[in-house]
Structure 1
Amino acid sequence: MVEMNVTRLHEFTVILYALSVLLYFIDFLHNNRKVNKFAFWLLAFVWVIQSIFLLTRMLNTGRLPILSMFEGLYFYAWVLITLSLILNKFLRVDFIVFFTNLLGFFIMALHTFAPGQHGSSAVETQLISELLMIHITMAILSYGAFSLSFVFSILYLIQYNLLKQKKWGKRLLRLDDLSKLDYMSYVLNLIGVPMLLLALILGVLWAYIKVENFYFYDAKVLGSFFVLVIYLVYLYKRVVQKLQGKTIAYWNIGAFLFLLVNFFLFGSLSNFHFWLT
C-alpha cells in the first residue's frame, strides 16, 4: 500500500511537470511574465517533492543515491530541475529553460515508469498501463485543441467570405470578428502543440518498455511526429513571420486534415496501435 502511494506521488509530479513544461512553452513564445511565474512555482513544487524523496533515500541508504541506473536517473532529473529553476530565476534564458525542462520531463518519466525498480511486478504492470493511459489522454486532449482550432479557422474563412461578398445579415452577426477567430485558433494550437509533444515522449517511452521490436519508422509514429512538425511550422509562421489571416487559416486546416489521416489511416497501418483498429 505504501509502495503504491509513493508511485502515485511520482505520477502526480510527472503530471505537474508536464503542466509546467506546457506553460514554459507558452512563455517561450510570448515572453509572458505571469505564465512564467506560474510555471516556475509549479516546477518549484515538483523540486520540493523530488528533494524530499532524494533526502529520504540518502538517509535510508547513508549515501548519495547515484549507484544504480534508476537512482542516477532520479538524481539527474533533480539536477536538471534545479538548474532550470536557477536559470529561470537569475538569467531568464527562455530557450535554454524550456529545452532543459523538456529533457528533465523525459528523464523523470523514464525513472517513474521504467520497469525493474518498484519491486512488485503487479505495481510495474499497473504503472506501465497508467503510462499508456496518460499518453493517450494527453494525445486526445491535444487533438481536441487542434479540432477546436480547426473550427475557428473554418469560421474565419466563412466570416471572411461573407465580408468580402458584403453579405450582411444575422449569420454575419452570429460569427465573431476576424481578429478574434484568428487569435482563438492560434491559442488552441499553442496549447495543443506542447501537449502533443509530451504525449509523444510518453508514447515512445511506453513503446520501448512494452512493445517488442519497436521501430521509429512505424506508420503511426512517423505520422504523429510529422503532425507535430506541421503544427510547429504553423507556430513559426504565426509567431516569427507574423503570418495571420486567410493564409494561416488554410495552413491550419491542412494540418488538421493530415492529423485525421494520421489518426485513422496510419493508425490502422501501425504494428502496435491496436486500440485504433
Structure 2
Amino acid sequence: MADLTMTRLHEVMVILQSVSLVFYFIDYLNKEPKAHRIAVWLLATVSILQTLFLIMYIMETKRFPILSLFEGIYFYAWLIIALSLILQLVFRLDLPAFFLNIIGFIFMTIHTFAPNQMEQSAVGDALRSELLFIHITIALLAYAAFSLSFVFSTLYLILYRVLKKKKWTKQFSRLPSLQQAENGMTLSILVGVPLLFVSLVLGLEWAYVSLDIFTVFDFKIISSFILLILYIAILLIRKKSRFKGTNYAWIHIYAYLFVIINFLLGSQLSQFHFWY
C-alpha cells in the first residue's frame, strides 16, 4: 500500500508539472501574468511535494538518497525544480527557469516510470498501463487544441470574406470578431504545443520501458516531432508578426491537415502505435 501511495504521489507531481509547463508556455509567448502566476504556484506545489517525499525517504532509509542511479535521478530533478523556482522568485530570470522546468519534468518522468522501478515493484504493470493512458490522453487533448485552432482559422476566413463582400446578415451575428478569431487560433496552439511535447516525452518513456524492440525512427514518432516543430514555427512566426490575417489563418489550416495525416496515417505506418 505504501508503494502504491508513493506511486500515486509521483504521478500527481508529473501531472502538475506538465500543467505548469502549459501555463509557462502561454506566458512566454503571450506575456500573460496570470498564466505565469498559475505556473509558478503549480511548480511550487510540485517542489513542496518533492521535498516532503525526500524528507520521508531520508527518515525511512536513514541516509541521503544519492547512492543509486534511481535515487540520483530523483534528487537531480528536485535540484533542477528548486533552482528553477529560485531563478524566478529571486532573480526574475523567467526564460532560463522555463527551460530548467522542462529538464526537471523529463527527469521526474524518468524517475516515476523508471524501468528498474517497474521491474521491482508489484505495481509495475499498472504503472505501464497508466503511463500509456496518460500519454494517449494528453496527445488527444493536444489534437483537440489543434482542432480548435482549425475552427477559429476557418471562421476567420469566412468572416473576412463576408466583411470584404459586405454581405453581412443576421445569420453571421454570432461569428466572433476577426481579432477574437485570430486570438483563438494563437491561444489554441499555445495550449496544444506544450501538451504535445509532454505527450511525446511520456510516449517515449512508455515505449522504452514496455517494448522489447524500440526505435525512435518509427514513423509516428518522427511525424509527431515534425508536427511539434511545425506548430512551434507558427508561434515564432506569429510572434515576429511576419504573418497576419488570412495568411495566418491559412497556415493553421495547412498545419491541421498534417495533424489529420499524423493522427490517421501515422498509426497505420507505425510499428507499435495501433490507433491513436
TM-score range (shorter-chain normalised) is: over 0.9
Q: Which amino acid aligns with 1:91?
A: F
For residues 240 and 92 of structure 2, what CA distance do their matches in structure 1 show?
A: 20
Query: Any conservation in 1 of the 2:153–2:253 contact (CA below 8 Å)?
Result: yes
Per-residue CA deviations over 1:37-94 (Å, capped at 9, x if unaligned) read 2211111111111111111111222221001111001000000011000001022222
In the other structure, the counterpart of 1:88 is 88
For residues 105 and 26 of structure 1, what CA distance do their matches in structure 2 show?
A: 17
Per-residue CA deviations over 1:196-249 (Å, capped at 9, x if unaligned) read 111111111111111222112111101101111110011011122353210011
Q: Which amino acid aligns with 2:201?
A: I
C-alpha root-mean-square deviation of aligned residues, in Å?
A: 1.4
Moved more, 264-273 or 108-117: 108-117
1:120 deviates by: 5.1
In the other structure, the counterpart of 1:24 is 24
TM superposition score normalised by structure 2: 0.96
In the other structure, the counterpart of 1:263 is 263
Distance 1:62 1:2, change over 3 A: closer
Unaligned runs of 5+ in 2: none
Query: Any conservation in 1 of the 2:115–2:209 contact (CA below 8 Å)?
Result: yes
Per-residue CA deviations over 1:6-54 (Å, capped at 9, x if unaligned) read 1111101110111111111111113322221221111111111111111
Query: Any conservation in 1 of the 2:77–2:107 contact (CA below 8 Å)?
Result: yes
Q: Which amino acid aligns with 2:51?
A: S
In the other structure, the counterpart of 1:160 is 160
For residues 103 and 121 of structure 2, what CA distance do their matches in structure 1 show?
A: 28
In the other structure, the counterpart of 1:204 is 204
> Match of 1:116, SS?
helix
In the other structure, the counterpart of 1:171 is 171
1:1-277 alignment, distance < 5 Å:
1-117=1-117, 121-241=121-241, 243-276=243-276
TM superposition score normalised by structure 1: 0.96
Query: Any conservation in 1 of the 2:132–2:203 contact (CA below 8 Å)?
Result: yes
Query: Any conservation in 1 of the 2:118–2:127 contact (CA below 8 Å)?
Result: no
For residues 218 and 190 of structure 1, what CA distance do their matches in structure 2 show?
A: 26
For residues 19 and 176 of structure 2, what CA distance do their matches in structure 1 show?
A: 30
Per-residue CA deviations over 1:102-139 (Å, capped at 9, x if unaligned) read 11001001100113226754401100110110000000
> Match of 2:123, SS?
helix
Unaligned runs of 5+ in 1: none
**Number of residue-to-residue matches in the alignment:** 276
Query: Any conservation in 1 of the 2:135–2:203 contact (CA below 8 Å)?
Result: yes
For residues 212 and 118 of structure 1, what CA distance do their matches in structure 2 show?
A: 14
For residues 31 and 167 of structure 2, what CA distance do their matches in structure 1 show?
A: 40
| Sequence identity (%) | 48
Q: Which amino acid aligns with 2:142?
A: S
Q: Which amino acid aligns with 1:38?
A: I
Moved more, 135-144 or 213-222: 213-222
For residues 40 and 190 of structure 2, what CA distance do their matches in structure 1 show?
A: 19
Distance 1:176 1:31, change over 3 A: closer
Moved more, 206-215 or 255-264: 206-215
Query: Any conservation in 1 of the 2:28–2:95 contact (CA below 8 Å)?
Result: yes
Q: Which amino acid aligns with 1:207?
A: A
Query: Any conservation in 1 of the 2:16–2:46 contact (CA below 8 Å)?
Result: yes
